[in-house]
Copies of this chain bind each other. A is one copy, B any other.
Amino acid sequence: MATPEHDRGESKVGRVGLWLIGARGSVATTATTGLAAICAGLAPAVGCVTSQDEFSTIPLPRFSDLVIGGHDISDVSIAKRAEHLVSTGMLPQHLVQAIQAELEDADSRVRPGYFPGAEGVPQAEIARRLAEDIRQFRNGHGLDRVVVIDVSSTEAPIDHLPEFDDLDLLIAALEDPAQEILPPSSLSAYAAILAEAPYICFTPSPALNIPALAQLAAERGIPTAGQDGKTGQTWLRSVLAPGLAARGLRVLSWAGANLLGGGDGATLADPQAVAGKLQSKNRGLQSLTNAATTPLHIDNVPDLGETKVAWDHINVEGFLGSRLTLQTTWSAYDSMLAAPMILDLARLMGLADAAGQQGQVGQLGFFFKDPWGSDEHAFAEQSRLLLDWAQQAGARISAMTHMPDGRVSQGAAAR
């Protein structure tokens, strides 16, 4: 298999580091495996939005310009995890075997993440350590920019504290060794800000939903995107609901069930953790249907392994009070849906950063259940917005690179 067209030639946006919080998890391992396989010409980039023809003229970083590193709190290496994912039937054995060296290489760039209660030092100090890991990754591998993506375990929603609304109070609390005021996802986001790295939240965790942190990110001009990858059932809903609406049909109820095993299944078996997930899953649909969506259920069904199965039952009012019902059953390896999006996000955020974009990149809402900086949930419209934005960002970069020095150094380098 030949290197894809747009991986030829020289990148205009330089080499991009992809720093994964949760680098040894299922999504991260699949993304790492996939990137190596694509670069080795062993697999096409099916499932990557950015490998579509429409994106071929946009100066995105090439797949081969991406370098993966990250944080994790698990001791199971990426290669070991990949082996496990082979045994569940998800990852193809021959691919994993062929790119064993790349997996070990990536694993050597994984640093210990933050495990609450484990260190006995102020969170501020931990944040500085995490930020330093990101900086060393950037400098140590001659990267033009590093995109941080959180793909770690889903956390429970948190109670609001006064410190969350006041940066000074928050910083004071962070320096207090007796407090653990931020959940891990927010501490990681804070570290990304400190390292001046574009930050993306692929999970439903609290992360940047701490007003003081969000404000800090904005002040420092960090481009951000989130939240909670829209990969399966919610994605399907965001395709169907606008279609029904465009026909003047009225959704009466949208009920459903979710079965999943794997690491995420185990995490979400915890009613606390699942709460956050269900909130972001339902938000978009509520907005798309103006309807009281029936609360969705997520069941942990370990024997399904890495497969997620989702059933939806949609009851719709049509002409003269008639009913139409639509049922959908979706069955897929969850991480196989998420991983190509991680690569897309790295490329697109690399582009954003190179183009000098700051703040919430709402046009990346395409990828998220709960988009930051956008109220658009309809998928077809999100597709259009994404492409338009990417073309404009690309045009800005092309304009810059027609300037004397020819290489774009926006982002952290410029900040």
Contact = CB atoms under 8 A, between A and B. Distances in A.
Interface string A323-349: 111111111110011011000000000
Interface string A87-101: 001111101000000
A135 B299 CA distance: 50
A294 interface: yes
B313 A336 contact: no
Nearest to A93: B93
Contacts of A249: 46-47
B328 A326 contact: yes
Interface residues of A, number: 75
Nearest to A322: B336
A242 B381 CA distance: 12
Contact of A319 (B236, B315, B328, B340): B340
A332 B303 CA distance: 16
B311 A301 contact: no
A259 B313 contact: yes
Given A311-B257, A332-B318, A332-B325, A246 B297 contact: no
Contacts of A45: 248
Contacts of A252: 303
Interface stretch (A48-56, A102-110, A215-223): A48-56
A258 to B, nearest CB: 9
Contacts of A256: 257
A243 B379 contact: yes
Nearest to A55: B248
A388 to B, nearest CB: 13
Interface stretch (A29-37, A63-71, A272-280): A29-37
A267 interface: no
Q: Which 8 A-B pairs have the closest CB atoms?
A: A380-B380, A324-B332, A239-B243, A47-B319, A252-B303, A257-B257, A322-B336, A246-B383
Interface of A: 30, 33-34, 37, 43, 45-52, 89-93, 95, 235-236, 239-240, 242-243, 246-250, 252-253, 255-257, 259, 294-295, 297, 299-304, 309, 311, 313, 315, 317-333, 336-337, 339-340, 378-381, 383
Given A47-B249, A294-B300, 17 more contacts: A34-B319, A43-B320, A46-B319, A47-B247, A47-B248, A48-B319, A52-B248, A90-B322, A252-B303, A253-B302, A257-B297, A301-B315, A322-B332, A324-B336, A326-B328, A326-B329, A327-B328
